[in-house]
Structure formats: C-alpha cells, structure tokens
Amino acid sequence: MPRTATLVDFDVGKKQDIDSISNTARRTRKRLERLGGVIQECAVQWYKRYLLEIILRQKPLSPSKDGRHVPLRIGYEHVLIDERRGHPYISNVIRTSRYTLIDFLPKQLIFQFTRLANFYFLCVGIPQAIPGLSTTGSYTTILPLLFFVLLTIVKEGYDDYKRHRLDTLENANTATVLRRKPSGLETASSTRKWLAGKFNNAVADSEPWDDETDGEYGWKKVQWQDVKVGDIVKLVRDEAVSADLVLLHATGENGLAYIDTMDLDGETNLKSKEALPDFKGCHTIAGLRNCQAEFVLEDPNPDLYRFDGRVTVHGRTLPLTSNEVVYRGSTLRNTTCAIGIVINTGEECKIRMNANQHPDAKKPALEAIANKIVISLAFYVIILTVGCSMGYIIWRRSTEQISWYISMATVEFKQIIIGYAIMFNNVIPLALYVTLEITRIGQMLMLNNDVEMYDEATDTPARCNTNTILENLGQVSYIFSDKTGTLTENVMKFRKMSIAGTSWLHEADIQSEEAAVTTGASLGVSGGLAVPRKSREVASVIHEDIELYPLSSPTSVFAPQSERRSSSQWRSTGRPDHLQPDVTTSDLLEYIRLRPTSPFARRAKDYILSMALCHTCLPEVKDGKVDFQASSPDELALVRAAHELGYLVAHRSSQAVTLRIDSGDGNQETHVYEILDVIEFSSKRKRMSIIVRYPDGRICIICKGADSMILPRLKLAHLAMQKATEVRKSVEIERELLRRSEQLEVRNSFGGRPSLNLRGGGPGNRNSIGLSPSGAPDKRPAVVRSRSVEPSRSRASEDKPRPSLGIRTTSLDVTKTLSRLSPATPRPPQDKFGFLDDPSVYDESTIFGRCFKHLDDFATEGLRTLLFAKKFIPENEYNVWKKTYNEATTSLVNRQDMIEAAGELIEQSLDLVGATAIEDKLQAGVPETIDKLRRANIKIWMLTGDKRETAINIAHSARICRPGSDIFILDSTKGSLEVQINDVSEDIKMDCTHSVVVIDGQTLAVVEQSPQLTDLFYTLIPLIDSVICCRASPAQKSMIVKAIRQRVPSALTLAIGDGANDLAMISASHVGVGISGKEGLQAARVADYAIAQFRFLQRLLLVHGRWNYVRTAKFILTTFWKEMFFYIPTAMYQRYNGYSGTSLYENWSLTVFNTLFTSLCVICLGIWEQDLSAETLLAVPELYVHGQRNRELNIPRFVRWMAAAAAEGVLVWLGVWAAYSVFGQARDDALFAFGNLVFTVGVMWINWKIFIIETHHKTAIIMGAMGITIAGWWAWNGFLSGVYTPQFTPYPARDAFAHTFGPDPLWWLTLIIVVLVLISMELVYKVVKRNLIVAGMWRWPPWKRRSLDDSLEKWGLEVWQELEQDPVIRERLRRACMEDGELDDEEHDSIDPDDVAKAL
C-alpha cells in the first residue's frame, strides 16, 4: 500500500477516534449534569421533608376544601379559624426585614462562613490555637477573624434593624374599624370633650372613637397590625387600604368607589369598584348589624387580575369578582367614604404575596473572582508548605544527622508542615476583609455626599443602604425600570391637537414651567441640578427632512418654519429634532374670536366642545379654584385643556353637564347638555362614547378612542383607511432611509454609536466629541422586514432621521429646505392665518391624510393619541336604539357583551372631529440618561403594569425606542408564539440596527407555562436591545429579573422603581435602586441605593460605579500583591535556617505589618482613587464596559501581578543577601538587623508603588497618608529599640536601631539602592507601556498600529489619561457632559483631529 494512502487512512482513523472521544465526553458531561440535577433535587426534597417539615414543623399548606369562610356578623365574637392551619388567621403584621431575633445569628454565621476566605481562615485559625504548633502566635488568626465576623454581623444587624423600624412604622398606621364599645364610654367621652376645651383640643386629638355610634358598637381607630380577618373597615378619601377588603358600601356616584392602584400594579387609571346591590343598607352601623352574610373566598394567591368567590346574603348566593375587591396597597380616591370587610391580612395580602419576601443577602460580583484567587493562593500555600517541609526532610538527612549539636532536636513532620501552613497563611491576608469593609464605608460616604446627586426640589440626597455591593454598580448589564413614578412624573399634559388637517401646539403651562426652570438654572452646575435638560440633539445639526405632504405656502403649519418661536417652546423629549407647529392654541382662540363664523372656526369649536363633553370627570372647588375628579389622568388633561380653551365644566351629574363658555371678549355663556347615555371605555372596546342632547334639542353621540377603533366607524371609512395606508407606506420609506443611514454609522464593539473617534468631521451630534465622515460603502443588504409580529399596524419608530455622518436625506419641499438653511433670507409678509383659507383644509381626503400623518408624528414623539368623532342622531333612530340598549343593561346573562354589541349599532357613520396628543411628562433628564446608558452597553427593559399603547408611547419619548428601531410585538392572542419568536429571531439576524420586543403579562404567563417556549424566549433575549413588558404583575417583574440572572449568569442586573409594586423586582436583582422622591418611600427603604430622580442613575453607574469597581479591584490586587511580595523573602530564608520555620521578621513588627504600615496605602486607594475624571466618564459612556468585561480584576491580570510580586521579592532577597554576604561586612549581622532591612525595603516599596505609581488621583490626603506611614515606620523602629528588654533572642532589638545597625552606612546604602532599583524598573516598564499604548503599538505583533476605527472602549486607559491632560480635550469633555441648558448652541463645537493627535 502506498505510504500516502496509509497516512490518509491514519488521519481519517485518528479523526474518527477524536470525534468518538468528543462524543463520549459530551455524553459523559450530559450524564453528569443529569446526575447533578437529580442529586440537587433529592437534596431539596430531603431538606423540605426532614428539616422543614419534621424538625421545624413548617409543612406546606394544603388548599382548603371549600375556600375560606368569613362571616359578616357584627355580634360574632368567636375567633375565625383558618382551616388550612387549624389556627386563627395570620395577623396583619408585615415584615420586609430579612431576619428575626431567633434566626438572625444562625443565618448570619452560615452566611459569613460560606464565604470562602472566612472558611479558610477558620480552618487555619483552629489548629493555630493548639499550643506548640504555631511559630507566629496562637491567636493571631482566630481572634481577628472572630472580631471581623462579629463586626460584619453587627453591621448587617443594624441595616436590618433599620428595615424593622420602617416595618414598625407601617404596621403602626391607623385604620378605622367597627368595634364593640366598652361600658362607661359615654361618661369618659364627655369628660374628654370637657378637657379638650380646656387644653386646646389636645385630648380630643387622641380620641380613638368616632362620633358615629350605635349604642353598643362604634368606629374605633386601631393600628394596622391589629386589623383581623372579618373586621369591618371604614375608609375615607385619600386613605390607604390596610388589608384586602370586599367592598360593602361606597359614597361615590352610583355607589362607585374609585381606587388608585399605582403602588399595586403600576397603572395610573383609577379603578371603579362597586358593592353588590344586596349590601345597600350597609352604610350605617345599624345596617351592618342587620345584614347577615357569609363570604366563601379563594385561598390567598398572588394573582392581581382575577378573584373568585361567592357570598350568601339573606339566603341568596351571589358571585364575587375583582370588581368588588379592594387590595392592600391601594388608595381610595375621589370618594368620600367606603366600607369593606377584611378577607386577607398581612403576608397573605395580594401585594405581599407578589413581593419577594425576606430575600437573601446580596454578594458582590467581584467576590466570585476573589474566591478563585483565594483558591489558587490556597494551592500556592499548600505547595509552598509541602516544599519547605520536604526541604526540612532533605536537610535533616544531609545536615542534621551529621551535626552533633542538633542531632537530638528532630521535629516531627506533622509539626513542621502545620507550622509552615500557619506561617504562610497570611499570603491570603485576613486584613483584606477588614480593610475592605473600611474602604466600602468610605466609598459609601463619598457616594452619599455627592452634591451632583442631590435633588434640591425634594431636599433628597443619594443614599446607600447596602455598602457591600458598591462595586456592582460598575458592572451592570441589564436595567429593569418601572414606568410610572420612575421614568414619568405621572402628570399628563394636553400638548397638541389636529383639527381639519392642521396641527396646533398647546403650551399654556410652558410659561410657568419656564419661570421655574429659570430660577433653578441660576443655582449653577453644582446646585441641585433640578433643571430639566434640553436635549443635546437639538443644536447645530442642520439636516433636510422628508416632507410627505408639501404645501404651496412655506409658512404653513404642515411645513414648520425654520425660525423658532422662542426658547420656551415645547420640544419632544423623544424626538427633540422635530420642529413643532408655529401656531399654538392661543393663536387658535384669536382666530375663533376674529372669525367666529368661518368653517374652520366652527370645526375648532366642535373639537373643544367634544373634549368638554366626552368624559366622566366631576368638577370640584378647591381653595377657590375649579379642579376635577377623574378616573383617568388622560381625561383630566383633556378637561383641563378644554377649560384653558374657554370651555369650563362647571357642573356634572349623571343627568347633565353644565358648561361655562368664554367667548373671548369677556362674556360668558352657560349651556346645559343633557346626558342621555354613557357607553363606558373597556380594554376590548378601546373607546368611550357619550350621547347628549344639545340645548337646541338635537341629539349627538361623541366618541373618543384609539385610531384603530375609530377609523372603521367613520362615515368615509373606506377613504380614511386608504389614506391611513398611504401614510403608513410613506412612513415605511422614511424608516428605510433612516435605517440605511444608521447602517453607515461607525459602531463600537457592542453595536452602539460611539461618542468619539479619531476621524475628523463637521458639526454633529452634541453628545459626540468628534464624528466620522460619510462615504463608507454600505456593505449590508437593505432588507425590508416586518417590524411587528402582530398582523395589525403598530407604531414603530418611524420618525425623521437625525443623520450624524453627513448623510443628507432628500427633501421634497425645496422652499422649506432653503429657508431652513438660510434663516436670514427675507420673506414677503403673509397673513398669520392665511393657510386656513387654503381650500384643501375643507377637503376630507386631504384632512384624513394630514390627520393620520399628525397621529404618527405625535406617537413617535411619545405622545398618547386619541381620535374624536361625532354625529347627530335623529330622535326616532335614537329611540329605537335606546330600547336595545336598555335590554342590554338590564340583562342578567352576558350583560357586558350585549352592551358592547348595542354600542356597535350606534357608533357608526361618524364624522372625524380631530386628534389629540397628551404628554405623559417624563422626569427631567430621562431621555439623555437612557441614551447614555445604552451607549454604555447596558440593555434597558421597561416593566410596567400599564397597557401596551401607553408603554410604547413612553418608550418613544424616553428613547428606549430609537428612531429606526424595529418593534416586535409578541401576543399570545395573535397565533402561535413559537412561530412569532422564530420570526423575531430571523428578523433580528437580518442586520437589525436596534430591536425592541413588546410582550404583555398574559403572553408572558403563556411562555412560563411551556418549557419549550421559555427556552426559546430566553434564547432570544441576548439578541434584543430593549424589552417592553406591559400589564406585568409584581410577581412577573420579579420572575423576569430572576430568569435573566439564571439565563445570563455573567450579566449583572439592576432594578429601579418607586412603589410597593416594585419591591419584588428590586429585591430579586443584583442591585436595587429606589426612587426616593415624592412617592418612593416604599422602594427606597428596601432598595440597596436610593436616589431622588432617574437622571441621577447615570452618575451613580457611570461615575461612582466605575470608580468603586476600579477602587475595589485595585484594592484586592494590591493587597494580594503586597502579601505575596512580603513573604517571598521569608520563604527563601528557610534554606539558611535549616527549614526550621524561623521567621525572617520580628514578631511584633509582623503582627502590625498590615495594620500600621501597609493599611493606609490600600485604604486610600480604595476610597479616593479616580482613574478618570467624572467629566470623561459622563462624556464617553462607552468606558463603562471596563467593569462589565472585568478588565481591572481577572485571573490573567492577577497572575501577572503575582508573578511581578514574586520577582520583586526574589530581587529584594538577593540584593540584601548580596550586600550582607558578598559586597560588604555589616556592623550588625544578627537576624533582627537583616530581617529589619528586608522589612524596611518592603514597607518603602509597597507604599511607594501603591501611593505614587498605582494611584492616579493624587490629593493632599494621599500624600499625607504616605508621609504618616513612612514616618510611622521609623518611629516604630525607635519604639522597638527602647522597649525591648536585653535578653538572648534571635531578634536582639534593644538599642539596635539607635546604636548597632542604625548608624551602619552599609544598611542604609543597601536600603536606598534596592528601593531605587525597584522604582526604576517599575517606572521604565510603565513609561514604555504607556508610550506604546498611546502610539497604538501595545499589541501583538508590536509593529501593528492602532486603527482609526477602533472603538472607544478598546482604547487603553493610558490614552484617556493622556487625553485628559490636554486642556483642549479636557474642555471639550467638560462641555460634552454639562447640562445643555448651561451652554449655547454655538458653544458645542467638535474636536479637531489634530488636537487629538497633538495630545497623544
């Protein structure tokens, strides 16, 4: 056989063998994984069965047979028993603290000694305490360990005690409960009233009983913790609900109670709850006593959106649903009084069952790397111990046996090996954890005292509640944010309207806000920073817009003029580059006053009238001003806007609405509109209608709702749908152009837009420091792909592009473009309202097209849109419909479906009135913060209980959805979820620049129930840039955070929220942040960190997160480095003492080495180090990936540092040994002088390296600490020289420093030379490395220079430190991170590339 064929067969066989080996290894690994899973499952089962159930008697509760029975009987005195437990129902006490007095110490001991280093020191400290085994003292390890552990336990206990105090405050809130009155109460009550008159009502304020009594029973104020199942509770307006209740009575219109559930599920709309009609007599104590009922309810569960139960009243059984139940965590609004019976208390309330109860203590992410380092050093200690012990055996055979003077002094091997283990155990320093706690306290104080995160408006500074995870702030990869109260202020403002195809801006509130902003801006940069930011993307970027509907007049509102009206004009937070309409509602009122009978004026008045009539708001007078009670903040914004436009709702009842109309000339007219019917809004209908009779007798239906619901019901529905389709296609073209321009942009290593690169360019994005020019060929295919899995249209981010690379889009309106490019060009004077005389204003086809374009523009600006439509109904047609509607409302079967079907009959052939746009006001600086966090490679998820449309609108305004984002909607009601998820994956892989997935709580529940869908969904997660989860319960929020922690174990998660519904999510994440502003006390007390505004999150992460990560990582590295360096000479000295374990260093000095002489250097580094300035870190958020990728502390870096420490330790030993043994004769050649010289070199070099070389941010504190340490060492030598008693010892320290080795020139010369050699070597290495990095040659092969296209995060730290030294670059960085309101537009210049080259 030929040799070649033999070799081929051999290679094939070898490959097959390798494949079979790899397959075998794969199968073996899978078997081991399955075995591990089985073992873990068995362990969990045994733990539950034997420890929890048998020993601790904590058996899982079995479901009750027929639900829990709660009687409504006032005279029922027996304690209600929970049949699941056989004991009374649990109390209403809640607990967010982690420990109790019983389990605190056991849990903490287990937690502390599961930390690897503590367990290691415990294993070393126990044998060290045995007499005769240690050469370094018996208790030098165990006592400091116990002290440190005790200190940590005390700190944890204090933190938990603070949570316990806050729990006590909540449990001590008061509720009004029906109780039996004690005998003699009337006499005592009259006495109190007499005393109240004498002592200024002080006694009356403490009266626990209300005036309403019924002889035997009365309303008594009790603490929440005393509320029990079966109690009757009375609520008053704006009172928080103390426990889960079934509503018995409410004083609202038609017996309704309006409930605010924002803290429960995050929804801002008020929920209307209604008591069953059979409880109509329960508004008095007598009525409650006469009512005999028994409730049969479901067992406690966390489902917020479903409730099952029944009640038997006077022998009649009725169903109970969530419509009659009010949960703890809610607040009674717009209702004077409500009465309910308690059904769930304490930890069995819905809100508590959705909370992550008693979460485990959080550990820093760096601890995992530190544990690996400890394990590796433990192996090193074992090797060193075994090596020295074997050295003793060899030395005993070669030297000890032939030396008569020590031949009988043989030491047992076990004593030798244990002695060496104890000697070298300090290579893993116990001081690491003691000083680490000190540095974390210092870091916490630095964070708490940062004035840049102080909110002056609420007088709230940033606060750190958990200082053990400060470095986690610098490694966050996912942010999970609540919406209401976190991103938004929960304040709705009517902002825009579209009437007859014309767009008008409503800015009645702008002037007052501008005055407040001006006042705040005068405080300067270092003040409270409560000034809302104008977007950085507004200035100096001149680009051409695509005009889809060009008009002949350049001054038309459809093509906004280039001149800005004023600096106070409203700008969209989501699209600040959008030019706003140049006409406002003030101009609209002026036009109506001037031409009240014109066709457009009539349309405008119809529009305002529709806003004033189609709602359910109730007017009320507060402090002489009219305000409104509303079930929805959107309705409130519309009614307030109608008031500002001259249509005041003066009175409203269930029968009529009274309007006070201001004609503009000082005259007011009062009109009364009779309410005939109201067809309520529902999530299925997505619209609301009201039928009213005008003062002239005409009947009109006014309908408002989502555009998808109104369009098919218009009179010209076919034409409207056609125009909507045309607008949609034009928007798709615009989005495709934007996508292509974004594909040409320079990207960093994680796909984001860079803030700075080395290429030159003209003015661009204000957030950028320098921009790349265009011209790079587009190598990516232009693929038109679906933006939504949902078949129907969803609003994607189809807004106008903001080219930052010099890419100019084509404009179809040349006049407009030229006018924008040349704003100074003179124009002929034109009538301000001339555009309203255009005949197209009255053409229905044109109106539809322009109105739908306005809708899309409004939506992409993050505004919440509604359409208004109306029609007049003939009397006979209304009477026929009324019969059908009455049958539906009185039906006992399918009532809601019949009402909706009746509504469909009348809501047809409507005339379009116009469109509204409502702004859900964001907190100041939210869009800029999210933009920076995204550029920092942080993925942002918004988890909210609000509906999908609202969540998407807020995502646009907050810039979670970018222009050009592909929005994918997963909906379980639209088909197979598996197909939808696969389609999303395919679309994302087809070069999607920015992807956003929208999923609701119901769909998420379907995903959770299927393991296959769960795996598929969480496989998709790493590919997605942002996720919007709407209609999510608190438990689902927590589940999502936990799932990401499990599926992406390398990523750190951060959850931020402000309400009680966010507690579970905050507790489940690696880092929890609470907004401690107006309504954020619940989240702030549980969270690890509390800030007043979302915008402070960028400084918390980008600045303090980076600093604390670098500080802690450097602290750990330098601590291990100094121990390794310090103990290498001791190990080398063993050869010269017969491997007897004699220490090179004197014991007292060795004991205080870490405490007195090398603690300040690492502590100061860990507290005050700043590798880059705050301005640089804020201006270039990409630098945040330094912590995400663990660049400061990782195993390769640790190995390099340990290798350097070993080399330096060997060099010190050889230098000192050579000086004493080869090159000179020392005056004092005793062990103490020799060891003291090595010790002194170590102290000098350790402090010089850490204080001078490794610390970048050198302050007076740093230099003062170094001076104190060095002076302290020489003072210590003088102290030893005086306090040691003269005796025969290996360490004759008495008068040694003063009279023996102190005056010896050789000792000092050796010290100076060795230290200078070490400093020179380090400085040469640092200088060469820095120059090579700056030159772009610090990589292999060394002649390969850095590419200009390198991402910012790939630039070395030395490059940025070098750039910071240049005044031009430093000033530009300062400008880039400043508040935009502090700089004029022309000040935002970009850097010339020559400046960068000069700096480097």
Residues 6+ apart with CB under 8 A from 23: none
Least confident piece of the model among 58-72, 322-336, 996-1010: 58-72
- Helix or strand holding residue 952 (H, E): helix 948-957
C-alpha closest to that of 659 among 698, 690, 695: 695
Length of the chain: 1400
Average pLDDT over residues 774-781: 37
- Which amino acid appears at position 737 of this protein? L
Amino acid 1200: pLDDT: 93
Between 447 and 120, whose confidence is greater?
447
Amino acid 56: pLDDT: 54
Residues 6+ apart with CB under 8 A from 679: 685, 688, 689, 690, 691, 899, 902, 903, 906, 907
Between 52 and 492, whose confidence is greater?
492
Average pLDDT over residues 863-885: 91
- Helix or strand holding residue 1279 (H, E): helix 1260-1283
DSSP state of 41: H
Amino acid 359: pLDDT: 65
Say if residues 230 and 322 touch (Cβ distance below 8 Å): no
Task: End-to-end CA distance of the chain: give it in Å, rounded.
Answer: 66
pLDDT band at 604, cuts 50/70/90? very high
What's the rounded Cα separation, in Å, for the pair 1055 and 1045?
12
pLDDT band at 798, cuts 50/70/90? very low
Total-model pTM: 0.77
Other Cβ atoms within 10 Å of 841 Cβ, number: 18
C-alpha closest to that of 496 among 851, 910, 833, 798: 851
What's the rounded Cα separation, in Å, for the pair 380 and 495?
68
pLDDT in tens, 480-515: 998 887 888 878 889 889 998 888 888 877 655 555
What's the rounded Cα separation, in Å, for the pair 670 and 646?
12
Average pLDDT over residues 1352-1378: 80
What's the rounded Cα separation, in Å, for the pair 623 and 643?
17
* pLDDT over 70 (residue 823): no
Amino acid 992: pLDDT: 78
Average pLDDT for the chain: 78
Amino acid 1241: pLDDT: 96
Say if residues 264 and 302 touch (Cβ distance below 8 Å): no
Least confident piece of the model among 31-35, 199-203, 782-786, 877-881: 782-786
pLDDT in tens, 651-696: 888 789 999 998 777 788 899 999 999 888 877 788 899 999 999 9
Residues 6+ apart with CB under 8 A from 114: none
pLDDT band at 329, cuts 50/70/90? confident
- Identify the top-confidence range among 781-785, 1309-1313, 1326-1330: 1309-1313
Q: What secondary structure does DSSP assign to 830-899, as a single string?
A: --TTGGGG-GGGG-HHHHHHHHHHHHHHHHHTT-EEEEEEEEEE-HHHHHHHHHHHHHHHT-SSSHHHHH
Least confident piece of the model among 642-651, 660-669, 1094-1103: 660-669
Catalytic residue among 231, 263, 265, 482: 482
Say if residues 1041 and 1065 touch (Cβ distance below 8 Å): yes
Amino acid 533: pLDDT: 34
Amino acid 1125: pLDDT: 94
Q: Vertex 60, ends 55 and 62: CA angle to 5°?
A: 140
- Which amino acid appears at position 577 of this protein? D
What percent of the chain lies above the pLDDT cut of 70? 77
Look at the block and give the residue holding tokens 């549980």: 1086
Average pLDDT over residues 1153-1180: 92
Say if residues 558 and 498 touch (Cβ distance below 8 Å): no
Say if residues 1056 and 1075 touch (Cβ distance below 8 Å): yes
Residues 6+ apart with CB under 8 A from 680: 688
* pLDDT over 90 (residue 868): yes
* pLDDT over 50 (residue 924): yes
Average pLDDT over residues 446-461: 90
Amino acid 1053: pLDDT: 94
What's the rounded Cα separation, in Å, for the pair 75 and 759?
84
Amino acid 795: pLDDT: 38
C-alpha closest to that of 1041 among 486, 485, 304, 478: 478
What's the rounded Cα separation, in Å, for the pair 306 and 662?
47
What's the rounded Cα separation, in Å, for the pair 955 and 926?
11
pLDDT in tens, 1027-1085: 999 888 888 888 899 889 888 888 999 999 887 778 888 988 999 999 875 554 667 87
Structure tokens at 1390: 């970009």
Cα–Cα distances in angstroms (integers) from residue 1340 to residues 611, 719, 1326, 1332, 1337, in the given order: 69, 66, 18, 12, 8
* pLDDT over 80 (residue 991): no
Between 951 and 62, whose confidence is greater?
951
C-alpha closest to that of 942 among 955, 930, 933: 955
What's the rounded Cα separation, in Å, for the pair 1006 and 1003?
5
Three-class SS state of 1266: helix
Average pLDDT over residues 1213-1227: 84
Q: What secondary structure does DSSP assign to 669-721, as a single string?
A: EEEEEEEEEEE---TTT-EEEEEEE-TTS-EEEEEEE-HHHHGGGBTTHHHHH
Look at strands 668-679 and 656-662 and give their pairing.
antiparallel
Amino acid 141: pLDDT: 73
Amino acid 641: pLDDT: 92
pLDDT in tens, 1281-1303: 888 877 777 788 888 888 888 88
What's the rounded Cα separation, in Å, for the pair 755 and 105?
50
Torsion angle of C-alpha atoms 20, 25, 31, 33, degrees rounded to 10: -150
pLDDT in tens, 880-895: 999 998 888 877 677 7
pLDDT band at 810, cuts 50/70/90? very low
Which residues sit opposite 488 in a β-bridge?
A: 484, 922
* pLDDT over 90 (residue 609): yes
Amino acid 319: pLDDT: 86
What percent of the chain lies above the pLDDT cut of 90? 25
Handedness of CA 502, 506, 510, 511 (dihedral sign): positive
Residue 482 annotated to the active site: yes
pLDDT in tens, 746-759: 555 555 555 554 44
- Helix or strand holding residue 1263 (H, E): helix 1260-1283
Average pLDDT over residues 801-815: 31
DSSP state of 206: T
Least confident piece of the model among 299-303, 634-638, 679-683, 968-972: 679-683
- Helix or strand holding residue 601 (H, E): helix 599-613
pLDDT in tens, 61-83: 778 888 888 998 887 777 888 88
Least confident piece of the model among 146-150, 194-198, 606-610, 1170-1174: 194-198
Amino acid 207: pLDDT: 54
Amino acid 132: pLDDT: 64
Look at the block and give the residue holding tokens 């008053």: 236
Say if residues 699 and 821 touch (Cβ distance below 8 Å): no
Amino acid 4: pLDDT: 43
C-alpha closest to that of 1236 among 1304, 1141, 1168, 1334: 1304
What's the rounded Cα separation, in Å, for the pair 372 and 369?
5
pLDDT in tens, 139-157: 667 777 888 788 888 888 8
pLDDT in tens, 718-775: 888 888 888 878 877 776 776 666 655 655 555 555 555 444 433 333 333 443 333 3
Look at strands 476-481 and 939-943 and give their pairing.
parallel
Q: Vertex 255, ends 253 and 258: CA angle to 5°?
A: 75
Say if residues 233 and 339 touch (Cβ distance below 8 Å): yes
Q: What is the largest CA-CA distance in the chain?
A: 130
